Structure 1
Amino acid sequence: MGTVTALARYPVKSMLGEPLRSVAVTRTGLSGDRTHAVLDDAGAIGSVKHPRKWGQLLDCRSRLTDDGAVQVELPDGVTFPVGDSGLDARLSELLGRPVCVSGSAPPHSTLERAVPEYEGGVPDAVRARATVDGTGEEITVGRVVPGTFFDFGRVHLVTTSSLARLRAVYPGGDFDPRRFRPNLVVDTGEGPGFVEDTWVDRHVRVGEALFRVVLPTPRCVVPTLGHDELGPDPGIMRAVAREHRIPVFDLGRLACFGVYLDVLEPGTVRLGDQVTRQDGP
């Protein structure tokens, strides 16, 4: 099926993450992935899915230290450990309102998403309920998976053949996989674009870990934003919407890229590990 060519985790939700050579996978996803998030006084979870409100988080980078502590590097290069009051003060200054970094999701916290202009960016029924907030952005409001900072899936995978397909239809776009914030990038060689769609409901082994492929990943505006040295590009998601709008549950045809995985058996995953089917031919 393919070979793992990149691994990454994002200890603080919506911040830049860290590339890895190997990682322990637990029942709840990659060890250290999205264990923390930035919260504001209104109970909103910091997510660059609402870029006017939270976009500066992509100027920050989070990582784990060797002893498992979470650190945040701010845009000026200054680094703070999570839990340091100086970090909350600097992030509050950066975002223009009081915020803090938390390792637990309050039960009634909300997750805000900007409504994209392209077709398939949100379900039509959800688009109809959108409102305009104080930033002037049209948004929808939802929640994360209870007790976590995950929107839905615990592990996100993209393939090189799907990236190649999008480059072919939008040659001017920079389809660096980091735009899509995956945990695993799988080299599928000369395979067809969106080959991962055929893996849905299948069991796949990656290194020592066993996963179930749950569903294609509906995409938001995040891949169009600037990431690290990657500049903003609104054409990225327009290309996805043109090429790959597919049915997701009962939500209609959504613009999807990559797939979500659930963990069936924990284990270590390393660069170069093979991805193999475990549920028949």
Structure 2
Amino acid sequence: MIIGEIKEIIRYPVKSFYGEKVNRTSVQSYGLYGDRSHAFLDETRPGKFLTLTQMPAMTRYRAMFVGEETMERFPELKICSPSGNIYYWGDGRLLDELESFTNKQLTPIQYTPNYVPLGAIEEEHLLLTTDASLEKLEELWGEQVDNLRFRPNILISLYDKSPFIEEEWFGKRVLLGDVEIEMKRHCERCTIINIDPENGITDLSLLKTVYQKRNNHFGVYASVIKTGEINVGDKITLID
């Protein structure tokens, strides 16, 4: 049964930086190509990454791959800071800037197109939201909601605009074009959804609303079963 189509594809080349919307990419065994493939280790918390929880302004850093996506190496990674400075991954000035903001010792780390460990993504391969659920949340919250607050990978445009219907798909398989995934479970939200991804300003009322009205759930996790290419506009099929 065709249930909708891909409205947006969003990846986060640098963990906790602003999301990069793309029209097409590949889905690897770990999720979207290059998703959370670069990050900063927080040496003041051994084994932990620097995230929006420690530095909300990270969302105002925009990272994007520039060049052809290959499995040999990632394309050059371009980063625009909130002040308008342009950096490329490996530029020590970016590290200096982040360390000066956080007063932490940081270590940049990057993985390969073939391997991005679950630890960098923290939960599952993919996170999905739907347009109908976003619209309902706007009604519950009383304000417009930027989908990027939830840091999803796929925004689904549903043909049947039933809010939160995606929560009925757990244990089922779904086709995104030719890519096959399995719907797993709710995404339990944390304080990062309070951060406006455009300006880094925090508003505690969104998480409070999600907690009170949605049992702290918004969006659903999925695991990759079959890899392949996906495009904005690809049909989404519920296959069992």
TM-score by length of 1: 0.75
- Contact kept in structure 1, 2:25 and 2:230, CA below 8 Å: yes
- Structure 1 residue 237: deviation in Å? 1.6
- Structure 1 residue 100: deviation in Å? 2.9
Q: In 2, Cα distance between the equivalents of 1:12 and 1:273?
A: 26
Deviations 1:156-191 (A, max 9, x none): 1001111121122222x2212111111100011443
Matched, 1:264 2:225: yes
Deviations 1:32-77 (A, max 9, x none): 10001111222231111x2xx2222122111111141222221111
- Contact kept in structure 1, 2:80 and 2:86, CA below 8 Å: yes
Say if 1:86 and 1:170 are closer, same or farther in 2 by CA, change over 3 A: closer
2:195 equivalent in structure 1? 225
Amino acid at match of 1:162: S
Matching of residues 43-192 of structure 1 within 5 Å: 43=46, 44-48=48-52, 50=53, 53-67=54-68, 68-103=75-110, 148-171=119-142, 173-192=143-162
Q: In 2, Cα distance between the equivalents of 1:164 and 1:190?
A: 13
The 3-state SS of whatever aligns with 2:95 is: helix
- Structure 1 residue 260: deviation in Å? 0.7
The 3-state SS of whatever aligns with 2:49 is: coil
The 3-state SS of whatever aligns with 1:91 is: helix
Deviations 1:179-213 (A, max 9, x none): 11111000114432211101111000001210001
| TM superposition outliers: structure 1 runs of 4+ over 4 Å | none
Deviations 1:120-146 (A, max 9, x none): xxxxxxxxxxxxxxxxxxxxxxxxx96
Matched, 1:206 2:176: yes
TM-score by length of 2: 0.88
- Contact kept in structure 1, 2:195 and 2:202, CA below 8 Å: yes
Aligned length: 226
2:71 equivalent in structure 1? none
Q: In 2, Cα distance between the equivalents of 1:45 and 1:153?
A: 17
**Larger RCO, structure (CA 8 Å, separation 6 or more):** 2
Q: In 2, Cα distance between the equivalents of 1:13 and 1:276?
A: 30
2:72 equivalent in structure 1? none
Q: In 2, Cα distance between the equivalents of 1:277 and 1:156?
A: 16
- Structure 1 residue 277: deviation in Å? 1.1
Deviations 1:213-242 (A, max 9, x none): 111111111111121158533222222112
Please tell me the root mean square deviation across aligned C-alpha atoms, in Å.
1.8
Say if 1:169 and 1:148 are closer, same or farther in 2 by CA, change over 3 A: closer
- Contact kept in structure 1, 2:6 and 2:156, CA below 8 Å: yes
- Contact kept in structure 1, 2:60 and 2:200, CA below 8 Å: no
% identical aligned pairs: 26
- Contact kept in structure 2, 1:224 and 1:234, CA below 8 Å: yes
2:17 equivalent in structure 1? 15
- Contact kept in structure 2, 1:160 and 1:189, CA below 8 Å: no
Q: In 1, Cα distance between the equivalents of 2:157 and 2:201?
A: 24
